[in-house]
Structure 1
């Protein structure tokens, strides 16, 4: 790609070079991933006055940075891998899976194997090469996303549907577009909300301070979440039910933080608890405390299907620990 020139103002003095550049590129309306920028730093394609700079260098003065953004590396076709799956429902058109925390849905930068897609291909005994029997692809999706209509974050457990045929893929994708899919999540949050129910409607866009995160004050897209407190878990946490009207990336995690009650053990949207006992529980959990508990949709044959998934054992144990600590 041709070089890009980015001005860094005095306001950025003292910031890490990589973070200052991400914020400046966002201001220019340019989309860039952290991995893409990291590759440019590694290739010495980020320069000030002709000299390569390091991502962790602190900006000492206002200046102009010249950089070249390398094109993302293409992802290969997904391949079958013998990974166990919890199948909730399967028929000729669709597969509903209860995904464990820690499993990525499809390959991406830093995750080339061990994904739900790899496991599904093995379960369906599909070959390595694309064929008439392969899972369908949505227009715009790469070969690493066969059958994928929606995603769950790596550390979110729970229900996800995979389409096995093109008509099923198109029917399900249409329901997601129209927001007619039923999706509800159970999440443990820090603190006990003062509300019983609350509807949260905000914008949704990349957070200029951290491109891994989303902000309710950025972007043009709308995000709507309905929250209900199921019960307090002692005095320091609560169990909430989140129902989605829209399905944006990190939507629940973003909105939980927005209302002042971030998801427990969420390293991106929550700070580590100050309380040492809560901090220990957070560290031991090894995931954030969000679970996709309900999934409902109209099957391509016209049936209305709805599935429920109980909380996984590690979240049940966390609830027990939090409630026990709240007892006198």
Structure 2
């Protein structure tokens, strides 16, 4: 039967219902006439074809093949009668051979006068220099290879190498210096520390905002001015080594822009016991934070509540954490209101937060999740500048806070060796006290 798709292009919006009905009526009338004349055998089997015979020229053509405006097929099998066989618009996709030659791994490169020389493998023909070195030296990361090339430590036939240059095989490649970076070790630095408690087993330090706890692996540029550098200067080699050479004595961490109490282990036994106390939630940690707006509990008149939202890494901004992804790690934060402020800069809440777990950015993420970001926490939605609610005509001027208003104020635990209860406290830093006075409207 005819259909719109069988019409020439440009006419396919025209209806074919009347043609369909006319052809159906003719077919029914022919079948009725044949039955009346006895030419149709009612008991004859229905004619069928093998699928392999569908392309055979012996099959009868469609009764509508030569009907004007009803085109069934063109020269190449299409539906347009003037269609001609044409070549493929796009070539077939290229299939890379599986039997590509393997790159020979350079296991033992001996240096002569600080330079390691070797001949590029013939299998490297057509490869980029950085890709070839990453395969020939599997113990070196691709990032390290790129760094060596950018610093001019790699030459090809006595010319400075470029990462994207294509090799032909057989070139003389030279690497100046040690291709494998030496493991980083924290170095002592004379940095003042506010030590709240110290004995032969542990120490508790009131860390200032802006100080990193330790440098990251491979981060030699920022391996200065950290808490670890200061600890090594003040306590020498007595710190525990459970966390490695970059983090001696570090049992837990605070964010760079968060101030407050942090406990440090001086020996491996104390380190392991403190770690167990953290994991088993036998360490009481209390923070003080200033957040935007007035926090309202989910239910009840009390000014306290619990946030129990799992935390995971943000897939878009990897430096952030989020509560909006399924499958995160459990996190529990208990909050209680210390003060509600309604001053010239709007509404704020001073909250005390006790955390049961120690997830990355836990308090900051949880406060943002309930719509009350920590003041100064630009990463999680707090404004960069705090302006008075009166606008530009207000008497007060806006101000900025270059750190988070988050302070680890209390730390309470049993001494891992003696069992003695330690309850330590650190007052708010002066810069946070000044912010509080300003938002309260104090003169």
Return the TM-score normalized by structure 2. 0.53
1:227-279 Cα offsets, whole Å, 9 max, x none, are 11111122421111110011101000000000100000102112416863389
> Equivalent residue of 2:380, what SS?
coil
Which protein has the larger Cα radius of gyration, Structure 1 or Structure 2? 2
1:136 corresponding residue in structure 2: 240
1:141-179 per-residue CA deviation (whole Å, 9 max, x = no partner) reads: 331100000000001000001000111111101101111
Alignment equivalent of 1:158, drawn from 226, 235, 260: 260
- Partners of 2:305 and 2:144 lie apart in 1 by 42
Paired with 1:322 and 1:249, the residues of 2 have a C-alpha distance of 28
Aligned residue number for residue 97 of structure 1: 205
SS at match of 1:241: strand
Counterpart contact for 1:265–1:282, Cα < 8 Å = no
Unmatched 5+ stretches in structure 1? 1-35, 45-51, 53-71, 127-132
- Equivalences for residues 282-301 of structure 1 within 5 A: 283=400, 285-300=401-416, 301=418
Secondary structure class of the residue paired with 2:324: coil
1:311 maps to which residue?
428
Tell me, yes or no, if the aligned pair for 2:320 and 2:379 is still in contact at 8 Å.
yes
In the other structure, the counterpart of 2:196 is 88
Other-structure match for 2:126: none
Distance 1:323 1:74, change over 3 A: farther
Q: Which residue of 2 aligns with 1:107?
A: 215
Provide the secondary structure at the position in 1 that maps to 2:319.
Answer: strand
Q: 1:210 offset after TM fit, Å?
A: 1.1
Instruction: Considering fraction of residues, name the structure with more strand.
Output: 1
RMSD: 2.9
Unmatched 5+ stretches in structure 2: 1-140, 150-163, 165-179, 298-302, 392-396
Separation in 2 of the partners of 1:137 and 1:216?
33
CA distance in 2, matches of 1:217, 1:73: 39
Partner residue in 2 for 1:197 = 304
User: TM-score with structure 1 length normalisation?
Assistant: 0.71
| Runs of 4 or more consecutive aligned structure 1 residues displaced over 4 Å after TM superposition | 36-44, 72-75, 278-282
After TM superposition, list the pairs within 5 Å mapping 1:140-219 onto structure 2.
141-195=243-297, 196-218=303-325, 219=327
Q: Work out the number of aligned pairs and report it.
A: 256
Contact 2:257 2:404 (C-alpha < 8 Å) held by counterparts: yes
Determine if contact 1:75/1:142 at 8 Å carries over to the other structure: no
Equivalent position of 2:90 in the other structure? none
Which structure has more relative contact order (CA 8 Å, sep 6+)? It is 1
Q: 1:40 to 1:220 in 2, by over 3 A?
A: farther
Q: What's the counterpart of residue 39 of structure 2?
A: none
Residue aligned with 1:276, SS: coil
Cα gap change, 1:147 to 1:197, in 2 (>3 Å): same
Shift of 1:136: 1.5
Q: 1:75 to 1:215 in 2, by over 3 A?
A: farther
